[in-house]
Structure 1
Amino acid sequence: MTLGDANMTGSHSMDKIALAPTPTYDDLPRRLSDFATLGEALDYAATGQRGLNFHDARGNLARPYSFAELRGDAIACAHRLIAHGVKPADRIALVAETGADFAQLFFGIVYAGAWPVPLPLPTSFGGKESYIDQLVVQLTSCDPSLFLFPAELAEMAGEAAALRSVEGIAFEDFIAREAASCALPQAKTDEIAYLQYSSGSTRFPHGVAVTHHALLSNLSAHSHGMKLQDSDRCISWLPWYHDMGLVGCFLSVVANQVSTDYMKTEDFARRPLAWLDLISRNEGTSISYSPTFGYDICARRMSSQTKASDRFDLSRWRLAGNGADMIRPDVMQSFVDAYAEAGFSPNAFLPSYGLAEATLAVTIMPPGEGIVVELVAETDLSGADDGEGRPQRFRSIVNCGKPAKDMIVEIRDEDGAMIGERQIGKVWTTGPSLMVGYFRDSEATDACMVDGWLDTGDMGYLSDGYLYIVGRAKDMIIINGKNHWPQDIEWAVEQLPGFKQGDIAAFAITTPGGEETPAVLVHCRTSDNDERSRLRDQIRERVRAITGMNCVVELVPPRTLPRTSSGKLSRSKARNLYLNGDIRPYDIAA
C-alpha cells in the first residue's frame, strides 16, 4: 500500500478519495543542488512531478503540494510582496508553521529578493506572554518590514508586531490578495538567501546570515554524503524554524528534488508513533531525521506486550539520521531493541554534526556504518584531575562521521594551534557553507569567525578522519534537541526578590541515568532551613515557567561561585568545581 493508497480507505468524501501523494520516482534527472540560487533550484524541481505532502494528526494525507504548484504560488506571493512595497534585502519575518502557506511565502520572499526570517511557533510552556516576548526580541533583532503569521496566532503575533511597530498580516489574508504580474529581481549566488535564528536564547538572539551559495553548497554536500538514490523519500516532523527542519527537511528536498511527507511537530508530540506509520507506508526507501529524544519517545511508547511487526515495517528505512543534540548510544540501542523485529536495521543510523553557523551539516557518517562508539575517560573530557583513590569513569562518545563535501575540520587548543590525532580540543571548521556572519552583530561574528574559520564552540577530537564530539566549550545547554542559553536561566532567577547578577550559575550536567539536565547554583544568604527549602522550590518553578525544563537547584554559600580575571562569572569552572565536590551546596531537609 502506498502513502496515497493508505488515505483512500474508509468512508471518506470524494475530495479525500481523490488525494494522491506526489510520486517518489520521477523521470526528471536528479540534480544534487548544483544551482546558483535557491529560486533556480525550485525552478528546476517544478519541471518534475515530485513535491511536498502534508499529513494530519493521524497521518492521513491532507494536502499534496507539487513543486510546480509551490513555484506558481511562490511567484504569485513575490508579486504581492513587491506590490506591497517590499524591496530586495528587506527582512520579512514569518512564523514557521509546517504547511503550504509558509512554504509558498518563504519562496515568494526569496523570489522577491527579500530575506525570509523564520520565527518559532509557541511552545506548550511559558504561556502567551513568554511567546510574545520571544517574538518581540527576534523582531527587534531582524528589523523586518513585514511580519506574517497564521491566522490562529493573530492575537499573540499581532501584539508582538504592534509592540515593535511592525506591520503584521495573517498568512491567509496576504495570500488572498490579488497578484498583479511584475518583473522579479535576479538574485546573485553570493547574496543573502535568508536569516536563521539559532535556537536557544530569547534575550540574545543571533540571526545567522546565509547566502544562496552557502546554502546550495551545504545541500549538495548533504545529498552527496547521504548517497541520495532515486527510491529515497523523506519523512519529517521536525519544526521549520530549526535549522535541521528548515534546511535539512525543507530546502534540501527542493534543491535535491525529493518527495517528502510531513506531520506537524505538535502532532508528533501527541502521537509519535504516527511518524513510524508514515515511514512504514512508504514503498520506497526512507530518509528521516530526529534528535535523540525522538527515538527515545518512540522506544518508550512501544509496549513490551506489543509486537512492533504487527504495526510497522521499517525494513526500508535506509537512513535514520541523528542530530541536533548529543547522541546517546543507550537510547539508540533501546530503539533497536524495540523495532528490530519490525525490520529496523541499526546500520540505518546516520549520526551527523552541524550547526546553523555552517548552514547545517559539518560532518556526516557514511551510510551503512551506523553508530560507532568509543569510551573516553571522564578526566580526559573535563580536563580535571581525578585525584588519588577515585575510580576512573568512562563516557561513551559517538562517532559523528567525516567532514561533508568541501568542508574541513580541525581540532585546536585554547591558543588556536592545531593538535594531534585523538587529542581533545576546540572544533573549528571552514568551507563554502559558512555563514556571512550574525546579522548586525559584528562583535559576536568576530568572536567566532577568524580568517575564514568558524570556532564552533564545541569540543571534540579526530580519529582516522572521523569526528567525535565530546561536549560544548561554549555555555549552551541542549535539552531534547533545544538549545538554552544559561544567561536566560540566570536572568529568570535574577527576577526573583533578593538576587542580583552574579548570584547564579547555570550549566548542564549528566544525571546517573545518562540524561542531560540543567543545574542552577544560587548564592543563598539565609540560614533558615525552611526558607532555603521554599527558595529552592521557588527557583525551580521559575526556571520551569521560563524554559519548560526541570532542573537541579543547589543553594551555595555567598561568594562561592568562581569568577574570571576580568570579574565575570566562570560557568565552566563552577561546573568543574561542583562536579568535583569542591563546591558544597547546603544540605536541605526534604
Structure 2
Amino acid sequence: MRPDGQERLCSFSEINAEATRRAAHLLARGLKKGDRVALVIPDSDEFVLSFLGAIYAGIVPVPMYPQLSFKNVESYHDTVAHITRASGASLLLTTTGTRPFVEPVKDKVEGLKSIVSVTELEGPAPGAIDHVKISPTDPCFFQFTSGSTSRPKGVVVTHGNLAANSEAIMIHGLAKDSSVDKGVSWLPLFHDMGLIGFVIAPLFTDIPVVFLPTASFVRAPRVWLDTIHRHRGTITYAPNFAYALVAKRLKDKDVQGLDLSCIKIAGSGSEPIQAKTLHDFAEKLKPAKFDPRAFLPSYGMAEATLAVTFVKHMTGMRVDTVDSLALQQGKATPPQNGKNDGGTGHQELVCCGHAFPDHEIAIVDEHGKRLGDREVGEIIARGPSITPGYYQEPELTAQSWKQHDGETWLHTGDLGYMIDGEVYICGRIKDIIIIRGRNYYPQDIEWAVSELPGIRRGNVVAFSVDVDGEEQLVICAEAFQSDAAGLLEQITSTVAGQIGLSVHKVEIVPQGMLPRTSSGKPQRRKTKQMFLEGTLPQAGKAGRANAASPSDSNGGEGVQDGAQ
C-alpha cells in the first residue's frame, strides 16, 4: 500500500519475474556476484523487488533508511556515506523522490561509482541472467546496526543464516499455515524485523503480506488495525512503543466496527517489552474481539539474524514479578508478600520464551561461567542463526563472537536470567547505572517517567554522569515548553518514589529533538554526549534540577540501547 492509499498486488510468480528482470539490469551495469549495492528506497514494493533482484544476481544489498526531509540532512549524508563506504557499495539504488537527499553522498565516497533511480531499471531485461551459484556461507545482505552506541556496523547475514532463522520463525515459532495465514506490517524494511520477519521469512513459507507505509502508521495508528481487519491478517509484529501508541491514541469510538478475532500472532520485540503496555492494548481492543493469547513476546538481535527465542504461540504474555532490590544485586527473587525492605517495591519482567530448535541460550557471569536459574548475567547464544560477524571489523567481531567448549557463542551484551529454560531480559551491560554501589536499569527509570502526563511516551533517556567523583542520575525527556516547569517536580518525585533515586538533573527537550537511531529509538550515548557538551536543545530552563551546567560534569563510558 502506498501513502496515498493505492494498493499494488504482486503474486509470487510476478515477484519472481520482476526480481529476475531487475537482476538482469543490475548485472548489465557491470555488477557481479559479491558486489554490494546500497538501497535507499522508501516504497515497500520497490524496495522488496529491488532487494530480491540484487539477491537473484548474487549481489549483496545493503539496506539504509530513507530521509524524506532536509531536516538534519548533513548528518544523514554522513551516515549514508559511512555505510556506503564501510560496505564497499559501488552503486546506490534509490527513487526519483529520494534521490535529492542522497545525491551529495556521491562526492563523499570514493568507491561509489553511480547513484541510480529504480525507474532507470525499467524496460525489458537486457539479457538472460546466468545461474548464480550460491552456498549457505555466502553473504546474502549486510544489516547495518542502528547506531545507538556508535557508528553503524555491518552484520554479515548469510544465506544459511536466513534459511535457518526463517524456518525457526515461521515453522517452529509461528506454526504457519500457508492456506490461511496473512501478514500485515508497517515496519520499515531497512530494519531486520520488517525485512526478515515480513519479507524473507514469509517468502520462505509462501505467506502473503500486506505492507503499509511506516509514516502512515505513525500519523494514524488505527490504519494498522483497519488493514488487519480488512485483509483478515493473522500475523503482525511491532515494538513495544507501537502497542503503547495504539492504547494511548485510540478512542473507544475508533474501535467500533473492528473485528480483530483473526489475529493469531501479535508479536512484540526489538525493544524492552512492558507488561502494562500489552495489558493496556488488549483492554483497549477487547471490544474488537482481540485475543490476548495472540501476544508473542520474543528476543533477538541483528547479530543473530533476527529472533533467537519465542514464547509458544497462542499462550500469550507471561510475567515474572521480582524484588527490585534483589534484582539490583543480580538475583531475580520473587518479592516476599509483594514487598521488600529496600522501599523500591517490585517489578514485572516479560517472559521471552525458549530458544529455537538447534539453538541455545545461556546466562554467564563476567568470567564466562554459566549461572543458574534466577541469576542475572550476560545472555549468550549459539546456533545456525548466529551470523559470522561484522563486515571487515575483526576486532569488533572478536569482542562479541567467542569460543566456549569448542563452540562459537555470540555475547549479546544483554542482561537477563532464565527460569526452566525460558529467558527474561533485564537490560544492557553498559546500560547499567551504578549509584552508591547499586545497579539500576535505565529502562525502568525511563518507563516510570514516560508514564507521566505531558511526557512523550518512549521519549525519555536516563544515564549517569560523574560529579565530583560520584555518579549522579540525569534524565532527559521530550515535552512541550509550557509543561517544562511543572514536570521538574513530577519527574524527581516519581523517580524517588518508584526507583528510590534522587535526580541530579532533569532536561526537558523539545518534542522530536532527542537524537535517535535509524529505527526511531532514542540514543543514550549521543544524548549523554550532547548533554555534557551543552548542545542538547532545551524546551525550558526550568528543566534543571540545580544550577550546575553540563560542562561541570565529567563524562565516562556511554551506555547502549538494548535489543529485545
- Shorter-chain TM band: 0.7 to 0.9
1:78 is displaced (CA, Å) by 1.4
Aligned to 1:466: 422
Aligned to 1:512: 448
Q: Deviations over 1:132-166 (max 9, x none)?
A: 12211211211201111111111121111232131
Alpha-carbon distance in 1 for matches of 2:118, 2:250: 38
Aligned to 1:350: 296
Question: Which consecutive unaligned segments of at least 5 residues does structure 2 have?
Answer: 332-339, 434-440, 452-456, 469-484, 486-504, 532-543
Aligned to 2:367: 415
Aligned to 1:26: none
Question: Which consecutive unaligned segments of at least 5 residues does structure 1 have?
Answer: 1-54, 478-505, 526-532, 563-568, 574-590
Q: Deviations over 1:384-414 (max 9, x none)?
A: 89xx964142121000111122210001111
Closer/same/farther in 2, CA of residues 262 and 406 from structure 1, 3 Å limit: same
* SS, match of residue 471 in structure 1: strand
Report the AA paired with residue 192 of structure 2.
Answer: D
* SS, match of residue 422 in structure 1: coil
Closer/same/farther in 2, CA of residues 286 and 389 from structure 1, 3 Å limit: closer
Alpha-carbon distance in 2 for matches of 1:72, 1:81: 15
1:521 is displaced (CA, Å) by 5.4
1:176 is displaced (CA, Å) by 4.4
Aligned to 1:544: 513
Pair 1:233-2:189 in alignment:
no
Alpha-carbon distance in 1 for matches of 2:73, 2:553: 36
Aligned to 1:297: 245
Closer/same/farther in 2, CA of residues 314 and 125 from structure 1, 3 Å limit: farther
1:61 is displaced (CA, Å) by 5.0
1:301 is displaced (CA, Å) by 2.1
Pair 1:169-2:116 in alignment:
yes
Closer/same/farther in 2, CA of residues 572 and 104 from structure 1, 3 Å limit: closer
Aligned to 1:578: none
Aligned to 1:189: 136
* SS, match of residue 215 in structure 1: helix
Give the conservation status (yes or no) of the 8 Å contact 1:126–1:545: no
Aligned to 2:105: 160
Closer/same/farther in 2, CA of residues 374 and 416 from structure 1, 3 Å limit: same
1:545 is displaced (CA, Å) by 6.2
Closer/same/farther in 2, CA of residues 538 and 339 from structure 1, 3 Å limit: closer
* SS, match of residue 285 in structure 2: helix
Give the conservation status (yes or no) of the 8 Å contact 1:138–1:202: no
- The partner residue of 1:400 within 335, 352, 366 is 352
Report the AA paired with residue 510 of structure 1.
Answer: E
* SS, match of residue 357 in structure 1: helix
Q: Deviations over 1:214-253 (max 9, x none)?
A: 1110000001211111311000000001110010011111
* SS, match of residue 184 in structure 1: coil
1:419 is displaced (CA, Å) by 0.7
Closer/same/farther in 2, CA of residues 337 and 557 from structure 1, 3 Å limit: closer
Closer/same/farther in 2, CA of residues 558 and 299 from structure 1, 3 Å limit: closer
Pair 1:78-2:23 in alignment:
yes
Aligned to 2:271: 325
* SS, match of residue 276 in structure 1: helix
Give the conservation status (yes or no) of the 8 Å contact 1:288–1:320: yes
Alpha-carbon distance in 1 for matches of 2:380, 2:285: 37
Please list, as runs of the form range in 1=range in 2, the aligned pairs for 1:149-548 lying within 5 A after superposition: 149-165=94-110, 166=112, 167-176=114-123, 178-201=125-148, 203-223=150-170, 224-229=172-177, 230-283=179-232, 286-304=234-252, 306=253, 308=255, 310-383=256-329, 390-451=342-403, 452-475=408-431, 509-513=445-449, 517-519=460-462, 540=509, 544=513, 546-547=515-516
Report the AA paired with residue 225 of structure 2.
Answer: L
What percentage of aligned pairs have identical amino acids?
31
Closer/same/farther in 2, CA of residues 447 and 126 from structure 1, 3 Å limit: farther
1:353 is displaced (CA, Å) by 0.5
Report the AA paired with residue 278 of structure 1.
Answer: T
Please list, as runs of the form range in 1=range in 2, the aligned pairs for 1:112-131 lying within 5 A after superposition: 112-122=57-67, 126-131=71-76
Alpha-carbon distance in 2 for matches of 1:330, 1:475: 22
Alpha-carbon distance in 1 for matches of 2:410, 2:103: 37
Alpha-carbon distance in 2 for matches of 1:456, 1:353: 11
TM-score of the two chains, using structure 1 as the length reference = 0.74
Report the AA paired with residue 371 of structure 2.
Answer: I
Aligned to 1:88: 33
Alpha-carbon distance in 1 for matches of 2:262, 2:512: 42
Pair 1:64-2:12 in alignment:
no
Give the conservation status (yes or no) of the 8 Å contact 1:221–1:406: no
Give the conservation status (yes or no) of the 8 Å contact 2:22–2:125: no
1:336 is displaced (CA, Å) by 1.1
Alpha-carbon distance in 2 for matches of 1:335, 1:394: 22
1:286 is displaced (CA, Å) by 0.8
1:270 is displaced (CA, Å) by 1.4
TM-score of the two chains, using structure 2 as the length reference = 0.77
1:96 is displaced (CA, Å) by 4.2
Report the AA paired with residue 44 of structure 2.
Answer: G
